[in-house]
A and B are shown apart, each in its own frame.
Chain A
Amino acid sequence: MTVTSGTVTSRKVQGWLYAAPTAVIVGVLFLAPLVLVGWMSLNRWPLLGPAVFNAPENYLDIAGNTLFVDAVFFTLKYTAITTVLLSLVALGLALLVQERRPGVGFFRTAFFLPGAVGFAAAGLLFYGMLNNDFGPIDPLLQTLGITDEPVRWIGTPNLALFSTITLVLWRFAGFNMLILLTGLQAIPTEVYEAARSDGANRWQILTRITLPLLRPTLALMLILSVTGSLLAFDQFFVFTNGGPDNSTVSMVMVIYREAFFRFDLGGAAALSVVLLVVLVAINALMLRRLR
């Protein structure tokens, strides 16, 4: 089929027309807000009332915002613990359901099913399940003789963190298992057979063959887990509400409080810009190290 210049032009126009809705959505609802958040961060921008240019005050205020500085350290700690535990649990689950055996499909679904529940709903579920008067966990532990008295699951800083991480593991382990399964299934079975005939044991196969070949998939899982944890909001807002004594306040929670409790959108915008820069830097660093 010969193509004249006229049809090339018309195909260009047509291509643009089909892509136009995408361009409008991306332009108006993504690029414009991105520019706006930068501009807002340079202004005293109250929730109500006019904005006044005050750069770089919002950025200078960040260092004195002790709630945010504490939240940075807390979020990093939470991210480190969650990522390590989530990776180990997901890897364990993936290895257990890797091979096609009778019943494996049921177990895969069982492990993933919590992932279909919304995160906020999952948080509210745990909020009730771990409640001392209403939930079943305390009576169960006491009947089994593991504890003598009700455990204050979200009553102390360490327990609140522990309970939140349990919630996150329950909700996301299956999701990460699914990511790892896609990687595991891409490893040809011949590789395992060759290793076995060379006399390699299970541990050697895991550390010398499976994990190295799984590296790109592990990298993807790590990046998703680190990103998701650094941006944690729902789990703390819904489940611990930042408590006790602001011990579980994440960075995004501070942004939310800055904007909607302290009515300072300019300050919230400056924090958001810092968060964006940090996140892009961490992702770039991880991509470079892991690829």
Chain B
Amino acid sequence: MSRYLTLSALAVLFLFPLAWSGYASLEEPSNYLQMARFGEGLGTYAGNSVLVSAMTVAGTLVVSALGGYAFARFDFPGKNLLFLATLAILMVPYATILIPLYVLLGYLGLQNSLVGLALVFVMFQLPFGLFMMRNAFEALPRELEEAALVDGCGTFRAFSRILLHAVRPALITVGLFAFLASWNDFFAPLILLNDGASFTLPVAVFSMTSQTMGAIDYGMLQAGVMVMAVPCLILFIVLQRHYVRGFMSGALRG
């Protein structure tokens, strides 16, 4: 019984900040109206965030599914080198890579660009995505692919028509991680985006704390926190199983 008391007390501590933020944001419903009109408007910021997240999820899924298939089923020169180079992304500090990326994306004409930001997110998601997808394709029985090949399918048709369906759970996990990372990330958009109209939600809501005119509107700030947090909370609760599975396979093997 004392264990449940401890657990309940801890649960209150962990859930209290979320509950308070929700309450504080709703105390004055005008908080949300204020926020909707802040800066370039909520529609712009939320739209940017949705766009970047959608491009990141799509890009991560395409690249890591194709790459995972290659690493699980094919032998090609440089295979190990490429795999090691991809995993090395995890070893390099975020700042070390973002400072030169700021310059490099400028060379590529992708400065202050949501497409550039999404590409950077895809790169950061690739170690996890490739690792998950390689393991998922390796776990499929070879007969599944061979049967399709014997039926006259090319490898791409076997891949797109049959194998992709079989690795759907892994795709959901990779997509979920890519969404949470790109939706929530603060440092990359802070460095790579420099025009208010292209800000994503975390950077835009942060800028509410540095208004030069007047006091900080804390109620509006908590409304901003909720707009960022609620989609993640819902998605996490709905897809919890997939999150934990991705976590287990990553944690155990990594």
CB within 8 Å of B: which residues of A? 1, 11-19, 21-23, 25-26, 28-34, 36-37, 40, 45, 93, 96-97, 103, 106-107, 109-114, 116-121, 124-129, 131, 133-134, 136, 170, 173-174, 178-179, 182-183, 186, 217, 220, 231, 233-234, 237-238, 252, 255-256, 259-260, 265, 268-269, 272-273, 275-276, 279-280, 283
Contacts and interface: CB of A to CB of B under 8 A. Distances in A.
**6 nearest CB pairs, A to B:** A15-B74, A118-B184, A18-B70, A120-B186, A15-B76, A22-B67
B18 interface: yes
Consensus secondary structure, chain A interface: helix
Given A15-B76, A220-B251, A279-B91, A233 B126 contact: no
Interface residues of B, number: 86
A119 B159 CA distance: 37
B75 A15 contact: yes
Contacts of A93: 10
Contacts of B146: 1
Consensus secondary structure, chain B interface: helix
Contact of A30 (B89, B190, B251): B89
Given A30-B85, A36-B103, A252-B94, A182 B252 contact: yes
Given A12-B76, A179-B251, A217-B251, A124 B82 contact: no
Contact of B99 (A97, A103, A259): A259
A136 B20 contact: yes
A280 B93 CA distance: 9
Contacts of B7: 96-97, 103, 107
Contact of B186 (A11, A12, A183, A238): A238
A12 B93 contact: no
Contact of B233 (A116, A182, A231, A269): A116
A89 B122 CA distance: 33
Contacts of A31: 85
